[in-house]
Amino acid sequence: MSASSQTITLRLFGAGGAFSRRYGTTCSMVTLRDGKRWLLDCGRQAPDQLHAAGYAWHDIHGQIITHCHGDHVFGLEDFAFVRYFETHAEVMASSRGGPLPKYISHSAVRDEVWETLAPSLRYLQDGRGNLRCGTLQHFFDVIAPTAVEPPRKNPWNHSETFEVDGLRVVTRENEHVPGKPSCALELHVGDDPHSPKIAWWSGDGTVDAAFLHSIEPRTSIYFHDCTFIDYPGQVHGFFDKLEALPEAVRRKLVIMHHEDNLELYRARVEAAGFRIALPGHVYDLVAGQQLL
């Protein structure tokens, strides 16, 4: 089955957790109705994952980042340098006047991303003797939010909404590592701007059952990180808590960011009604169905 140009798709290049070797880390690509491609996170394995799938960095319109951990951002340095210095096919290097790739993340996440990238990307000359003039804006068209929700228990905005080039996404803080900026994503997939329909992406975070249940009527599909290990200070979606979600949520939910010993739990996962994300899978975000 192939995707229609009238839908929005998500392709997983990797589907495993931070230390996965079998399934790769969870870099995914959203393709909009007009063909523009956005990456959801860009971890250490992303350069090789995209290359193996036949894509170049210049095929990517923009980056959406959920939080700053290596399996989500360590590929950004590679992406930034290649897009800045290299021309590919008809896409000119941005340093020579080509388009800057778009960048979206919650502002609190963006600050941490720049802390990670700055030791490499700041070494640009300004022609006046300053050898460290580089900023994130030299490498990316950093998109500002069009709306925000004020802070709740953390000092940063609870959510920020972004709209650009046919994409509408809400970055909403979730509970990952306590005190660390981290967001889930609400991707608008409705047929018109007034539709509330979304596809939901957890990034990394613990299970917020009440919230997931509250958005079910307008959610076509959920993607939730999952661990089968109940360790102290849990920072991911512990499967026992996912398993306890209402059936209406479970039947729409795809588990990702799982451990390499997934096969030990497959029967239990499928018995609960979940789908399992694997590298190469493609989902129709409008219909909430798997295409490949």
pLDDT in tens, 130-143: 999 999 999 999 99
pLDDT-derived band at 73, boundaries 50, 70, 90: very high
What pLDDT was estimated at residue 3?
A: 46
pLDDT-derived band at 127, boundaries 50, 70, 90: confident
What pLDDT was estimated at residue 5?
A: 65
As a whole number, mean pLDDT of residues 55-70 equals 98
pLDDT-derived band at 6, boundaries 50, 70, 90: confident
What pLDDT was estimated at residue 193?
A: 83
Helices (H) and strands (E) in the chain, counts: 9, 16
d(C-alpha 284, C-alpha 147), whole Å: 27
| Residue 1 reports pLDDT greater than 60 | no
Please give the structure tokens belonging to residue 59: 């095929």
What pLDDT was estimated at residue 46?
A: 98
As a whole number, mean pLDDT of residues 45-63 equals 98
| Residue 2 reports pLDDT greater than 50 | no
User: pTM score, two decimals?
Assistant: 0.96
As a whole number, mean pLDDT of residues 277-292 equals 98
Domains and CATH numbers, the chain: 9-286 (3.60.15.10)
> Which residues contact residue 182 at a Cβ distance below 8 angstroms, ignoring those fewer than 6 apart?
66, 67, 109, 173, 174, 175, 176, 203, 204, 205
| Residue 209 reports pLDDT greater than 90 | yes
